[in-house]
Amino acid sequence: MTSSTASTGGLFDTPFSIGATVLAAVAALLGILFAWTGYSAAGTEEATAALPLLGFQLNILTGFVGLLFGFLIALVALVAALYMEPGFGE
């Protein structure tokens, strides 16, 4: 094996992978917040809810779309954290 194929990488090996892992966690939590806010609006009479601190009006559909966007960003960031090479000069 050469030195470039011996390293498999990981979530906490380099500063880039640490940052990408943190981004993935934050994006997943924001997606869950969007979904929860949209879901909590489903039981009210006006069927909209405001996202805390931002004030966007959400219903269950827009909350679910926010969840999917958050999970997509989290998935891309995790793949980048796992498979990104450490650098060109090594």
Tens-digit pLDDT profile for residues 27-65:
999 999 888 888 887 776 666 666 666 666 778 888 899
Assigned domain for 88 exists:
yes
Residue 41 lies in a domain: yes
In a domain, 79, yes or no: yes
Judged by DSSP in three states, 18 sits in helix
Q: What is the pLDDT of residue 32?
A: 94
Q: Which residues, 6 or more positions from 3, have their beta carbon under 8 angstroms from its beta carbon?
A: 90
Structural domain harbouring 37? 25-90
Domain contains 90: yes
Contacts by 85-90 with C-beta closer than 8 Å and gap 24+?
85/4, 85/9, 86/7, 86/9, 86/13, 86/14, 86/16, 90/3
Assessment of whether the complete model's pTM goes beyond 0.85: no
How many folded domains does the chain comprise?
Answer: 1
Give 79's pLDDT tier (boundaries 50, 70, 90): very high
User: What integer best gives the mean pLDDT of the chain?
Assistant: 80
